[in-house]
Amino acid sequence: MTLGKWSGAYYLAGYAVELALKACIIKLLMTTDAFPMKDFSRDCYTHSIEKLLVVAKLAELRKLATDVGPLLSTNWALLNNWSEEKRYHFILKSEAEELVNAIADADHGVLTWIKQQ
């Protein structure tokens, strides 16, 4: 899977979530003919998972889901440690595997949850 490139796996796993949220934002835009608010594009131009959740109108849904789903809550908490700045850090195998599993878990993973929205 990673060929021992744990730092890269960690970094790119976070980007998978970022891009999934940006796809949700595009989907949301496609449901209306309304012109986006003035700051909309600026708000999308971020790597912040939390900010993208707000723009995608998924922040409240995520809160509801994590309140009743402890495994999903744990997985989102692991993702909160990710940032694009991590590309400059050395990431241990265990940390990379933990994040990739939190994102990719078929039942309680962050990406699974996003796809369901």
Tens digits of per-residue pLDDT, 71-105?
999 999 999 989 888 878 889 999 999 999 999 99
Q: How much of the chain, in percent, has pLDDT values that exceed 70?
A: 97
Give the burial string for 98-115 (b: 16+ CB within 10 Å, else e): ebbebbebeebbbbebbe
* Average pLDDT, integer, range 44-62: 93
Give the mean pLDDT of 27-33.
86
Assess whether pLDDT exceeds 60 at residue 48. yes
Nearest Cα to 11, choosing from 102, 116, 117, 84? Answer: 84
For all residues of the chain together, what is the average pLDDT? 90
pLDDT bracket for residue 30 (50, 70, 90): confident
CB of 86 within 8 A of CB of 10? yes
Positive/negative CA dihedral, 94, 98, 104, 108? positive
